[in-house]
Amino acid sequence: MGAARLENWQKYGNQLHGFIYDDSEGRCEDGTEGLTSILLPMSMQVSSPKEGVEVFTRNTTYLLGKPYTLEEEK
């Protein structure tokens, strides 16, 4: 199973959108924008993910960095 860090992320249904860093499988360059596959139910924080926790998809474990905020649009 691969691992990566997701920054500037936000939740869309049962998926997360953000920027991928430190992909252990080398699938993405740092800063690549992406949408995760569906989060697994074992990710207890799926309903309200927070910075610093890990969430799981079928193939990847994501460490959540800072979430997206409206302040970043300014």
What is the reported pLDDT for 73?
57
pLDDT along the chain (74 residues), means of 10: 95 94 96 95 72 92 94 58
- Global pTM value: 0.87
Q: Where are the beta strands (DSSP E) in 22-71?
A: 32-35, 54-56, 60-64
